[in-house]
């Protein structure tokens, strides 16, 4: 495995949350807190403890606790020749507002479903012919954009699509690690190995134009995941541990513009998202035998005040899950 492939897999793995008997995809990114929005998607785990695999339909777990089956979604990943990879789930993503879900339909097409609406099937060539366990889907917070990230031995460009029309907007170079969309979905945040072993961050438009690139200080680069504000330049990073902090960094001026001490509930930082001009939302996960617990908090970036938005315990029988982000 070459260094670039290892780097891509390592960073994408930072968005993967382990659950008993499997793994869980956390999907990067405003939020609809009503009962008709998705908290997370999950798939059941089957088989012996040492040979667990995904089975059944993807389940959409709603804010009111209800569930519905995503019956047209592919559940098991296929290899490049169309053969099942029994122990890998097909990729899926939920938008930050909990209103859209992106997945591979049983027809093999990339699909985006809107709650209470229809399904958009993207072009047949929207997905490359690769092993599907190398594909990660990322939705913008509002679900208006979807990125197809491919982590193969030979770098392939990340493809960005409009989810309403299915049109391909542009591409981001495949040698970059895609971290997620900006708060408004118009830009994409990426990371890359810079000179002398440092990590650079770069912002691209959804059409594939590089807008800004810089080398953040270690307090930002070493505390992933990072999130990009709707302004296209302000990066949020959370320093976890006994003395947690929210760090804001301006990529254009190369300055740490603010550091706030914050108080966080118990849990590992899983996702960081901008959900307002002065609001950053964190997902914190606790790994428990009776089912993982998710705590979602909103941080006021001007005051450092932390407010719990939601708490829930996940289904115990999960193989993987994809949380709503933002």
Boundaries of every domain in the chain: 3-323
As a whole number of angstroms, the distance between CA 93 and CA 166 comes to: 16
Residue 246 vs residue 289, higher pLDDT: 246
Q: Which fold has domain 3-323?
A: Neuraminidase (2.120.10)
Residue 36 vs residue 215, higher pLDDT: 215
Would you say 307 and 276 are in contact if contact means Cβ atoms under 8 Å apart? no
pLDDT confidence band for 265 (50 / 70 / 90):
very high
As a whole number of angstroms, the distance between CA 140 and CA 110 comes to: 16
Q: Which tens digit of pLDDT belongs to each residue from 133-152?
A: 999 999 999 999 999 999 99
Q: Which residues are CB-contacts of 241 (< 8 A; sequence separation ≥ 6)?
A: none
Between the alpha carbon of residue 299 and those of residues 62, 126, 134, 179, the distances in Å are: 23, 36, 33, 20
pLDDT at 73 (0 to 100): 97
Whether the per-residue pLDDT at 277 is higher than 50: the answer is: yes
Mean pLDDT of all residues in 102-123:
96
Q: Tell me the percentage of the chain whose pLDDT exceeds 90.
A: 81
As a whole number of angstroms, the distance between CA 40 and CA 82 comes to: 27
Q: Which of 227, 134, 137 is nearest to 188 (CA)?
A: 227
As a whole number of angstroms, the distance between CA 214 and CA 222 comes to: 15
How many CB atoms lie under 10 A from the CB of residue 192?
A: 16
As a whole number of angstroms, the distance between CA 17 and CA 321 comes to: 8
Q: Which two tokens stand for residue 199?
A: 């990590």
pTM of this structure: 0.88
Would you say 62 and 310 are in contact if contact means Cβ atoms under 8 Å apart? no
Would you say 181 and 227 are in contact if contact means Cβ atoms under 8 Å apart? no
pLDDT at 32 (0 to 100): 45
Residue 289 vs residue 194, higher pLDDT: 289
| Residue located via tokens 């089912």 | 291
Q: Tell me the percentage of the chain whose pLDDT exceeds 70.
A: 89
pLDDT at 65 (0 to 100): 86
């Amino acid at each position: 495995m070459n260094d670039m492939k290892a780097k891509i897999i390592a960073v994408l793995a930072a968005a993967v949350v382990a659950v008993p008997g499997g793994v869980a995809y956390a999907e990067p990114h405003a939020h609809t807190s009503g009962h008709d929005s998705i908290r997370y998607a999950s798939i059941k785990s089957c088989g012996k403890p040492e040979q667990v695999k995904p089975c059944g339909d993807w389940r959409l777990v709603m804010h009111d606790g209800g569930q519905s089956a995503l019956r047209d979604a592919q559940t098991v990943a296929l290899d490049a020749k169309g053969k099942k990879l029994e122990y890998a789930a097909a990729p899926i993503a939920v938008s930050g507002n909990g209103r859209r879900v992106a997945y591979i339909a049983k027809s093999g097409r990339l699909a985006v479903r809107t709650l209470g609406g229809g399904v958009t099937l993207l072009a047949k060539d929207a997905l490359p012919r690769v092993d599907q366990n190398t594909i990660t889907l990322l939705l913008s917070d509002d679900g208006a954009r979807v990125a197809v990230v491919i982590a193969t031995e030979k770098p392939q460009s990340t493809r960005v699509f409009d989810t309403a029309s299915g049109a391909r907007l542009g591409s981001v170079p495949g040698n970059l690690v895609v971290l997620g969309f900006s708060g408004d979905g118009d830009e994409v945040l990426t990371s890359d190995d810079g000179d002398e072993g440092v990590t650079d961050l770069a912002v691209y438009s959804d059409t594939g134009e590089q807008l800004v690139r810089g080398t953040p200080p270690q307090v930002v680069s070493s505390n992933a995941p990072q999130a990009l504000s709707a302004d296209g330049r302000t990066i949020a990073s959370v320093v976890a541990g006994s003395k947690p902090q929210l760090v804001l960094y301006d990529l254009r001026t190369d300055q740490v513009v603010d550091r706030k001490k914050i108080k966080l509930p118990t849990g590992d930082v899983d996702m960081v998202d901008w959900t307002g001009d002065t609001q950053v939302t964190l997902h914190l996960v606790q790994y428990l035998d009776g089912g993982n617990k998710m705590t979602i908090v909103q941080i006021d970036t001007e005051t450092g005040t932390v407010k719990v938005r939601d708490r829930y315990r996940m289904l115990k029988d999960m193989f993987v899950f994809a949380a709503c982000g933002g």
